[in-house]
Structure 1
Amino acid sequence: MQALLQRVTRSMPWFVQDLASYLLGERCYKLLVWNVDWSDVACLRLGLSKGLGLGIVVFGSIIKFPQIYKIVRARSATGISLAMYILEVVAYTISLAYAIRLRIPLSTYGENASLTVQNMVITLLIIAYSPMDSYVRRITILCHSYGISTNAFYVAVGAFLMVVCSLALASEHAVPPPLLKTLQAFTIPVSLASKVPQMLELHRDKATGQLSVLVVFAQLLGTLARVFTTLTETNDRLLFWGFALATVFNAVIAVQVALYWNGNEKYMEIRDTSTDLPSVAAVARPEEVHEEITEEDAAAMKELDREAMKLDSEVITEVQIDGMVLMKLVKHCKDNHASNGTNAWGTLLGVDVGGTLEVSNVFGLPNARSERGDEEERSTRTAMQYMTEMLRLLRQVSADVNSVGLYQGCFVGTFLNSAVVDGLNMLSALMEREGNQGWGKAVLVVLDYAQLAQGNTTVKAYRLSPAFVDAYRKTKFQVQSLIDYRLTFSNILIEIPIQMRNSALLDAFISTLTTENTPVPRLVPQTSKESLLAPPSAHVPPSYMDLNLALEPVLVSSMETTLDTLENCAAEAGNVGYQSRQVARRKCIARGSGPCGLANRRRTQTV
């Protein structure tokens, strides 16, 4: 057996032999590899340590891939602690710089570089797939306003910080050796503290969520092997105690994962069936909750919670606009068109419940066009920055800050342009990031100036079709992409029914304007109390504005738009006819039909 192994080891390529000699030393290489003599305990321990170290380095370069794949596949970071990965990135960076500066063998720390990069990727994925707060929302809107991908921005910032920290730690001028040793000692509590949030989250949820079981047990085995390699090769006390304590904490997390292996479904059942938890309504109104709650009341509150959860819908089927919101929208569009002749646009704020989009507030956005008629070239950068600032100010006064769509003023029906499509796509992406799963939930409310000039408030609501949104996000608009997604002029937008809704106070005020109240002759004037009880009002006469003919500017604009459309249609028809003749000519040439070419020449001579 020994002779057979010697024949194998001595026939290895020269670079493998040189690498083994460099790692083991000349004496241990001759004993263990060349002569296959394993009687020397010191060389055997060194060989095992080097083998384990190199195996950990290789395996560490892919150890977090299952976790990354699980997060991306589920599009969720449930059950994963963000604080743990941030602290691990800090600890790995310092340990990597410490090992490089002290020239510790590569087999004892080589996996730190790849683990740092993988932890950075997981950190960015946790941020990307977590519900957005106000800070992340502002970053996302700013990135979209400058045409930058949010994930690319996070990756660039993380890579920049990691490179700067690594260079600073690797430089003796920036970080002296005593300070670096202190930082390495500081990594021990940091590394241990990074495990605590994950332990608490597992204990709280009683479920593993999207946490990869393979990664957890691989980390336990890796830190256990590092304890052996550190004692064998370096005998560095700081590294040893760091790996030893990390092994203990990793063992605790592994035990929790084993206990809560099938805890996801059990956790959901406990949430649904438990009667000890207060309902959503009780949490919203704690002052109305009594200390003693009967089982019947708890069951009723749970039923209300289930009904509230059923209100979520993936498709917007109706839009409700408040009367005051509509007045603000009309005033902004009318004033903007009267002052500079441009089409006003703005942001809709509200909430979607059960497929109904309730618009509770609006505010206008600045126009970024340099001249009239340059509508297709308008940039959304200034508008998105303005919207970010407005949302921040509205949040400070506890107003509604949920962006649900855009409104656009138009003249004679022309309203769709690239800026509107970009804005709707960005708002749809933001709404999906907050938990909605439907495509194109953002709506577009359109107000027609031409009808407004005649006294008719014509408001319509649209949303982008799912096929158009999918094509817009994945491919460029070319002939083949339009064919693949079956896009035509008729299925880009989907019209949604729109309803007006007034508050009770506004309805009461309008009723005083439309109720006839004939004054009775009096000798003594009415008192203030009597005036409040019976306010004087007059009946609003009916409006016959619908019977009036259109104004001359509207007729002229309508005719101009119609003629332009007819000219474009005639030009496209000519192009289609030319292409069809070219196709017919090529078919004739392919078939070798002589009369077809002769007929074409005769037709040309006749012309």
Structure 2
Amino acid sequence: MATSEDSAVDATSSVKDFILLYLMPEKCYEHFFTNFNVLHVPCLKIVLSKTVGLWILLGTVLAQLPQLLRMRRRGSAEGLSLGSAVLHLFSTSGPLVYCLVRDFPLSAWSEKLFTVIQAAWMCSLILHYRGRTTQGLLLLPVYGAVVVLLGRYGRTPLASALLSSSILPLIASKAVQAGTNFSRGQTGELSGVSVMLAWAGSLALIFVSLQEEATLLANLAHVLSACLSTVLLTQILWYGGRIGTESRAKSE
């Protein structure tokens, strides 16, 4: 019996630690779970803000993993636009370069590095599955060297410009992929899970942008990005089950 009670206490403690670490401070935990004041507005705002932060993390940092795993599993990049992947790589590089130029600690940009690595790997795989393996292999060290050089020797104005404009290539990336899907009449190996995560992340970014009272142009950019994510998600649902000749040949 004592063992069961100890396990229950440990589980409760673990849940509390998770809540305090990711969702709310100690005072809000007391309001919600000790005083049962679940309508405490300031704490509700804090929880909502932190939840959106986790939402953005899932929608940006982890969004590309399902796509990469799908490509590796299927051995194909059919339907994926190389131009879209390159634009996405460029959009993820701006925030990383900015952090490197400003000499931020690793903890401040580790997730950005992870995102850039995924985006570069995506481009490399697309080239590989199109028979351009050498170019795909060269892309990784060459692009990595460019990012390191910019981060080490770049000036703050350049880094700031890359950061502030990073949403534009992201929008272009989604538009190019949507155009590719429309012209082909199918989404090929485009991962629905990745698109769903990106769509959720784009919605969360709209919320953050509105909360931070960003400029009208920034708000419109995030709305446009979310709309294009919605288009991609709709295309996956609409074209679901349709595969091109390359995928059909592999399956046969």
Give TM-score, length-normalised by structure 2. 0.73
Amino acid at match of 1:155: L
Q: Is residue 174 from structure 1 mapped to residue 174 from structure 2 by the alignment?
A: no
Q: How does 1:279-298 map to 2 (within 5 A)?
A: none
Identity %: 25
Give 1:93's aligned residue. 93
1:373-522 correspondence runs (5 A):
none
Q: How many angstroms apart in 2 are the aligned matches of 1:192 and 1:58?
A: 19
Measure, in 2, the Cα distance between the counterparts of 1:158 and 1:34.
52
1:312-347 CA-to-partner distances (Å, cap 9, x unmatched) read: xxxxxxxxxxxxxxxxxxxxxxxxxxxxxxxxxxxx
State the shift of 1:229 in Å. 3.5
CA RMSD for the aligned pairs? Answer: 3.7
Distance 1:198 1:248, change over 3 A: same
Quick one: structure 1 residues 53 and 239, their matched pair in 2 at CA, closer, same or farther if it must change by over 3 Å? farther
1:213 equivalent to 2:192? Answer: yes
Deviation at 1:121, TM superposition (A): 0.8
How many Å apart are 1:17 and its aligned residue? 7.0
Which consecutive unaligned segments of at least 5 residues does structure 2 have? Answer: 1-8, 246-252
Bigger helix fraction: 2
Q: Does the aligned pair in 1 maintain the 2:196–2:233 contact within 8 Å?
A: yes
**Cα gap change, 1:18 to 1:215, in 2 (>3 Å):** closer
Check 1:15–1:42 CA distance in 2 against 1; reply closer, same or farther (3 A cut).
closer
8 A contact 1:91–1:190 mirrored in 2: yes
Note the C-alpha offset of 1:33.
5.6
* TM-score scaled by length of structure 1: 0.34
Q: Give 3-state SS (helix, strand or coil) of 1:263's partner.
A: coil
Q: Does 1:19 align with 2:21?
A: yes
Equivalent pair of 1:81/1:198 in contact (CA under 8 Å): yes
Residues 192, 56 of structure 1: alpha-carbon distance in 2 compared, 3 angstrom cutoff: closer
Q: CA deviation at 1:82?
A: 0.9
1-structure distance, mates of 2:33, 2:91: 36
Q: Do the aligned partners of 1:9 and 1:33 also contact (CA within 8 Å) in 2?
A: no
Unpaired stretches in structure 1, ≥5 consecutive residues: 1-6, 141-149, 269-607
Partner of 1:195: 174
> Which residue does the alignment assign to 2:81?
81
- Output the CA distance in 2 between the equivalents of 1:110 and 1:51: 20
What SS class does the counterpart of residue 71 from structure 2 fall into? helix
Q: How far did 1:16 drift?
A: 4.6
Please report how far the alpha carbon of residue 77 of structure 1 lies from its aligned counterpart in structure 2 after TM superposition. 1.4
Give the deviation of 1:152 after TM superposition: 4.8
Equivalent residue, structure 2, for 1:125: 125
Q: Compute the displacement of 1:206 (Å).
A: 0.2
- Contact 1:96–1:112 (CA<8 Å) still a contact in 2? yes
Deviations 1:405-443 (A, max 9, x none): xxxxxxxxxxxxxxxxxxxxxxxxxxxxxxxxxxxxxxx
Distance 1:11 1:197, change over 3 A: closer
Q: Does the Cα contact within 8 Å between 1:10 and 1:34 map onto a contact in 2?
A: no
- State which structure, 1 or 2, has the greater radius of gyration over its C-alpha atoms: 1
The answer (yes or no) to whether the contact 2:59–2:202 under 8 Å persists in 1 is no
Cα distance in 1 between the residues matched to 2:167 and 2:61: 22
Q: Does residue 156 in structure 1 map to residue 137 in structure 2? A: no
Aligned pairs for 1:561-576 (under 5 A) are none
1:111–1:231 distance in 2 versus 1, CA, 3 Å: farther
Partner secondary structure for residue 203 of structure 1:
helix
Number of aligned positions between the proteins: 233
